[in-house]
Amino acid sequence: MAWFEKASEAPLRIPTEALWTVCPHCKAYITKAEWKATQKVCPRCNYHGRMTAQERIALLADAGTFQEINETVTASDPLRFEDASGKYVDKVVKAKAKTKESESVTTGRAEIEKHPVVLAVMDFAFLGGSLGSGCGERIARAAETAVKERRPFIIVSCSGGARMHEGIISLMQMAKTSAAIARVKAAGIPYLSVLTDPTTGGVSASYAMLGDLNIAEPKIMIGFAGRRVIENTIKQKLPDDFQTSEFTLQHGFVDAIVERKNLKAFLAKTLDYAGF
């Protein structure tokens, strides 16, 4: 019965991180190393996955040129909002810890192939990239910096829409940011809007669609209300490609679809053409 007394082997080690990423679009399994090497673009279907604000900044800005501004501006809680899942203020604290960002948009000065710009980049991981008072104030202040320093203004949108925890204060940011963009344009300064997955709700209904050029990544979701809401309202079946960047390009809502690997060069060429 010696076999019964034999010490058991050490348990298998459980990896602390998964080795695979599943493409949200085609559901293909991709190694994390390949996912990182392709800048989160699926090598099977060319779906462009979500990037963090810092990953996007590293992709677009020349190395070492990004200088954050407005970092002290953050969310307010005018309604002292609380629902079944907890207090809004606690959710903001968790979002800050999760993303290492203090708001859903990060703004700053940067250079893109030596072109000075003001860059604003949204991060979906921060409360769904929602547009709240802090986000709106950062974008408005970034627009003022662009006007004052005569730098082209570029916003990379990635959002589920307005942050309803703040009620009407959140919805006011749509008008506030749109007015700020109008001042950029009135000063004769280019405003380039980059739409990534997803760009929806109050963001798509405000600054995301106001660019001198609206540029989208391939196969992303662009829209206002969800497909189910629209179908139930109009009692019609929508096309399969509805609310994709390809559909919005076909119908004139975006001006170009640019793959992630070409985006920085495309922006630089546009700034060259604009004389900035």
Residue pair 88/165 in contact (Cβ under 8 Å)? The answer is yes
Asked if 27 and 120 sit in the same domain, the reply is: no
Please count the helices (runs of H) and the strands (runs of E) in the chain.
10, 11
Our measurement of the distance from residue 243's CA atom to the centroid of its chain's CA atoms, rounded to an integer in Å, reads 16
Asked if 29 and 76 sit in the same domain, the reply is: no
What's the pLDDT score for residue 269?
A: 97
121 assigned to some structural domain: yes
What's the pLDDT score for residue 9?
A: 56
Asked if 245 and 157 sit in the same domain, the reply is: yes
C-alpha count within 13 angstroms, C-beta hemisphere, residue 193: 26
**Residue 80: φ, ψ to 5°:** 50, 55
- The burial class, CB within 10 Å (0-12 / 13-18 / 19+), for 6 is exposed
Asked if 193 and 141 sit in the same domain, the reply is: yes
The rounded average pLDDT for each run of 10 residues, N- to C-terminus, in the chain (276 residues) is: 53 60 89 92 92 97 97 93 93 96 97 98 97 97 98 97 94 97 98 97 96 96 90 89 93 96 98 95
CATH number at residue 161: 3.90.226.10
What's the pLDDT score for residue 19?
A: 86
| pTM summary value | 0.90
What's the pLDDT score for residue 240?
A: 86
In the chain, the number of structural domains is: 2
12 assigned to some structural domain: no
Asked if 206 and 257 sit in the same domain, the reply is: yes
